[in-house]
């Protein structure tokens, strides 16, 4: 059987105030065209369909229409919530989308109640079992381990052990002679950040070793890290990455979806299918004259501009007039006047909440790493939408 693996759509994501919904519509349209051409048996969407837990009506309409268009190709469509999504809302819409033939899961579920989605591949008739594990926050991992794996809260280990327990439970839904898959939204130890992930939900205790999946799955379809990559494990473990560059930190990433062919008795064959609909992001350096002279070269790319001359009145306006797609304009550090802040020479706007808190602790000689871990956990709980 053959399926498509995609993740981290982040529909509704803006960049420096620029609405990117038309671009996201084009990217999802490209994925739908690929699905029509390739005639997949299933489409797996491994979380972070939205950028925020409270997406706009326009963002919700785009995602729902994309899921329905994928279903209209004849493929089974299975999607899970990521850390940017609102799990409870996914669960609320679950019955409605199921009536449309789309399996949407917001919370981890037991095997017998949606934790494993089973179907027969239309191309081969082979039985397929997909164990689905949406994103788990720290506080919900304990509850989920109790509900699904029967692990008493006082005996539950660290985050990775809780995830292991849940995966072991989900794999009880695998059957001999079938194609058995896992789809999850999480960080695997050793994975490379793409550049636009929510750091507090990707570091500290949130790592899960690739060994957690065991050797049973024919393929593990992951979401959360935005860079396309595979991880060494006893079975194929892959991130598809985001289908477009979410932020300037991802400007060098290659945007793809993955086509996976596998049978109960043959190894998975993975093919990267490039995506070209997303706008390119580019960081450029130069004087105003140099950059203005290169305007045609930049085309429609979104730009992060570093000006290689001292600041002066009207400089920003000159760049914006010459380069309308310049979303971020800065003075190159070599030409910038020294800036003194309580946390060092990096501007506050450039630092993540975790970095700012770490600087705050350093100023007050607080060296206990548990304090920063607690900050990350509290920040997670306030921003995860769970």
Q: What average pLDDT values come out for the chain (386 residues) when binned by 10 residues?
A: 98 95 98 97 98 96 98 98 95 96 96 96 97 86 64 61 91 97 94 64 66 96 96 96 95 96 97 96 95 94 94 89 94 75 52 79 72 78 62
- CB distance 325 to 346 below 8 Å: no
pLDDT at 145: 64
Q: What is the pTM of this model?
A: 0.83
Q: Work out the widest C-alpha separation in the chain, in whole angstroms.
A: 71
- What is the 3-state composition of the chain as percent helix, strand, coil, each rounded to the nearest 5? 35, 25, 40
Q: In which element (H, E) is residue 314 found?
A: none
In tens, the pLDDT along 216-226 reads 999 999 999 99
- CB distance 282 to 304 below 8 Å: yes
In tens, the pLDDT along 10-44 reads 999 999 999 999 999 999 999 999 999 999 999 99
How far apart CA 197 and CA 350 sit, in angstroms, is 15
Structure tokens at 299: 């085309």
Q: Which residue bears the tokens 């194929």? A: 236
How far apart CA 207 and CA 384 sit, in angstroms, is 16
pLDDT at 203: 46
Which residues are CB-contacts of 369 (< 8 A; sequence separation ≥ 6)? none
Between helix 369-383 and helix 353-363 the angle, nearest 10°, is 150
């Amino acid at each position: 059987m053959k399926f498509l693996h995609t993740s981290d759509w982040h529909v509704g994501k803006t960049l420096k105030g620029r609405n990117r919904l038309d671009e996201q519509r084009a990217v999802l349209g490209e994925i739908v065209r690929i699905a029509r051409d390739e005639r997949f048996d299933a489409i797996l969407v491994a979380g972070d369909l939205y950028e925020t837990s409270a997406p706009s009506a326009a963002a919700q309409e785009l995602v729902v229409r994309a899921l329905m268009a994928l279903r209209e190709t004849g493929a089974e469509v299975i999607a899970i919530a990521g850390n940017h999504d609102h799990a409870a809302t996914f669960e609320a819409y679950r019955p409605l989308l199921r009536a449309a033939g789309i399996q949407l899961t917001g919370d981890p579920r037991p095997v017998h109640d949606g934790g494993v989605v089973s179907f027969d591949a239309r191309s081969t008739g082979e039985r397929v079992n997909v164990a689905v594990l949406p994103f788990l926050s720290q506080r919900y991992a304990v509850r989920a381990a109790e509900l699904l794996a029967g692990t008493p809260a006082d005996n539950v280990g660290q985050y990775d052990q809780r995830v292991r327990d849940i995966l072991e439970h989900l794999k009880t839904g695998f059957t001999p002679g079938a194609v058995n898959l896992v789809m999850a939204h999480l960080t695997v130890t050793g994975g490379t950040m793409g550049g636009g992930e929510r750091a507090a939900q990707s570091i500290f205790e949130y790592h899960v070793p690739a060994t957690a999946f065991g050797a049973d799955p024919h393929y593990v379809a992951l979401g959360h890290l935005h860079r396309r990559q595979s991880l060494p494990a006893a079975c194929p473990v892959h991130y598809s990455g985001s289908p477009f560059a979410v932020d300037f930190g991802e400007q060098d990433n290659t945007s793809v979806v993955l086509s996976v062919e596998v049978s109960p008795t043959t190894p998975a064959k993975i093919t990267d299918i490039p995506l070209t609909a997303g706008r390119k992001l580019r960081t450029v350096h130069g004087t105003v004259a140099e950059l203005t002279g290169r305007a045609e070269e930049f085309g429609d790319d979104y730009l992060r501009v570093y000006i290689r001359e001292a600041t002066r009145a009207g400089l920003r306006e000159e760049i914006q007039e010459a380069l309308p797609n310049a979303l971020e304009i800065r003075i190159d550090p070599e030409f910038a006047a020294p800036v003194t802040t309580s946390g060092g020479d990096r501007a506050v706007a450039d630092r993540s909440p975790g970095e700012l808190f770490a600087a705050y602790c350093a100023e007050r000689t607080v060296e206990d790493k548990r304090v920063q871990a607690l900050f990350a956990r509290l920040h997670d709980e306030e921003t995860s939408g769970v």
